[in-house]
Amino acid sequence: MVKMILTGNESAAWGARLSRPKVVAAYPITPQTSIIETIAEFIANGEMDARYIRVESEHSAMAACIAAQNTGVRTFTATSAHGLTLMHELLIWASGARLPIVMSVVNRAMAPPWSVWTDQMDSMAQRDTGWLQIYVENNQEVLDSIIMSYKIGEKHHILLPTMVMEDAFILSHTAEAVDVPDQKLVDDFIGDYDPPFKLEPGNPEGYGSLIMPEDPYMEYRYMIAQAMDDARNEIRKTVEEFAETFGREYAPLVEEYKTEDADAIMVVLGTIGSTAKDVIDSMREKGKKIGLARVRYFRPFPYEEIRALAKKADMLGIVDRSYTFGYGANLYTESKAALYGHSQVPVKNYVMGLGGRDIKPELLVKVFEDMLKIARGGQVDKEIEWVGLQGDERWSI
């Protein structure tokens, strides 16, 4: 193990390098570009034994990964925002073809207006593509999650691809100390890629061909749904094995912070979690009983963990750094769906930080105060509240 000072993107490149993909097909897009630049350098220096395929778009990048992975090798790619949404069609193909591809996604806002800063709408819009989705909080988690994603996805009862999300710039371009594990440990941990089916010369097979309504199309979809459900236990098992091998512990689907005696719990994705933990520490010194649940895996959705949270607190505040035009944001609507019929605890959606707008500790203090008011028996005044709009005095700091 070596400690290095790495940005989130360099951590992603190291995570890929240690997992030994044989093909990396990618197209540059800010703020992801330094991931594939770093990988290109690794390959050029002979430090990584992989074929780097330059393609003309992200749609082609995913198509190349699918084709390569179908020949029985690991693949890796990375993208952001418009690149990710351009891939949409092929994302569904990758999961339908049961190929455990791993992809780094640097969460970036969608245009217009153009913005390169963090916002999770890009990956939330890929919620239904059949990919596992993990949202991370720091650079170490970026690297470790890529390694674990290969291990989880390649299990024969899972066979699903994973996207590993990191917040633009807050992680992607910010350096911190990261433990880079020994190659030998990673090799032993994830093992060789052993696909149950692969294209081979001399053994002609066709994958994904036309089937009729009376053929098992529905059954194939049911098998993906089952695999996604089974992934929950595989994630729980894998984080334990990871801790045994590498000595770093991760909560499986949801990381909780000071939730045991909390009156109100904030539920978040990504780097908001770090800011919230600091705010919780300082507010607890003043006697405010608040806690945090950082959802790591959004797919499969941790519905049991969300229900357990509602049993611990008198109120859940769901923070989304994205929005679904028409009704609420994704973490909120899914959490509420999980809770319906299981809990009477009030729930409120706080939408904030869109387009990379800074989520300052002072803003989270205000949100926690609002949550505590509801927890003490106040009404949920607004089901879905946009926090930090210009001129809105309620949230001015």
> What one-character DSSP code corresponds to residue 203?
B
Q: What distance, in Å, lies between the first and last C-alpha atoms of the chain?
A: 43
User: Does the protein bind other proteins through residue 213 (CB under 8 A)?
Assistant: no
User: CB 96 → other proteins: shortest distance, Å?
Assistant: 7
User: Does the protein bind other proteins through residue 377 (CB under 8 A)?
Assistant: no
**Are residues 276 and 250 in contact, defined by beta-carbon separation less than 8 angstroms?**
no
Show contacts with other proteins in window 170-209 (CB under 8 A): 196-197, 204-209
| Piece of 40-48, 101-109, 216-224, 354-362 that binds other proteins (CB under 8 A) | 216-224
| Piece of 17-25, 140-148, 214-222, 248-256 that binds other proteins (CB under 8 A) | 214-222
Sheet of strand 264-268, all strands in order from the earlier edge strand to the far edge:
254-257, 290-295, 264-268, 315-320, 347-351, 384-386
Query: CA dist 130 to 188, 282, 283, 353, 390, Å?
Result: 28, 40, 39, 27, 37
**Are residues 126 and 163 in contact, defined by beta-carbon separation less than 8 angstroms?**
yes
User: CB 72 → other proteins: shortest distance, Å?
Assistant: 14
Q: How far apart are CA 168 and CA 7, in angstroms?
A: 11
Interface with other proteins (CB under 8 A), residue from 191, 216, 247, 378: 216
Residue 211, burial from CB neighbour count under 10 angstroms (0-12, 13-18, 19+): exposed
Q: Which is nearer to other proteins, 102 or 313 (CB)?
A: 102
Sketch the per residue contact string, 300 through 319, with other proteins: x for CB under 8 A, - otherwise: --------------------
User: CB 160 → other proteins: shortest distance, Å?
Assistant: 10
Q: Which is nearer to other proteins, 98 or 108 (CB)?
A: 98
Q: Which is nearer to other proteins, 95 or 140 (CB)?
A: 95
User: CB 211 → other proteins: shortest distance, Å?
Assistant: 6
Sketch the per residue contact string, 90 through 119, with other proteins: x for CB under 8 A, - otherwise: ------xxx---------------------
Q: How far apart are CA 171 and CA 361, in angstroms?
A: 17
Q: How far apart are CA 188 and CA 190, in angstroms?
A: 6
Q: Which is nearer to other proteins, 220 or 386 (CB)?
A: 220
Sketch the per residue contact string, 324 through 363, with other proteins: x for CB under 8 A, - otherwise: ----------------------------------------
Tokens standing for residue 355: 């387009």
Interface with other proteins (CB under 8 A), residue from 188, 222, 240, 244: 222
Phi-psi region of 322 (alpha: psi -120 to 50; beta: other; left: phi over 0): beta
| Piece of 25-33, 217-225, 257-265, 388-396 that binds other proteins (CB under 8 A) | 217-225
| Piece of 77-85, 112-120, 219-227, 238-246 that binds other proteins (CB under 8 A) | 219-227
Q: Which is nearer to other proteins, 92 or 389 (CB)?
A: 92
Q: Which residues pair with 349 in a beta bridge?
A: 318, 384
Q: Which is nearer to other proteins, 216 or 247 (CB)?
A: 216
Residue 5 CA from chain centroid, whole number: 22
Q: Which SS3 state, helix, strand or coil, does residue 2 take?
A: strand
**Are residues 245 and 184 in contact, defined by beta-carbon separation less than 8 angstroms?**
no
Q: Which is nearer to other proteins, 82 or 198 (CB)?
A: 198
DSSP string across 36-94? HHHHHHHHHTTSS--EEEE-SSHHHHHHHHHHHHHTT--EEEEE-HHHHHHTHHHHHHH
Interface with other proteins (CB under 8 A), residue from 35, 142, 159, 295: 159
Helix residue spans in 216-261 (DSSP H): 217-246
User: CB 273 → other proteins: shortest distance, Å?
Assistant: 34
Contacting residues toward other proteins, per CB under 8 A: 96-98, 156, 159, 196-197, 204-209, 211, 216, 219-220, 222-223, 227
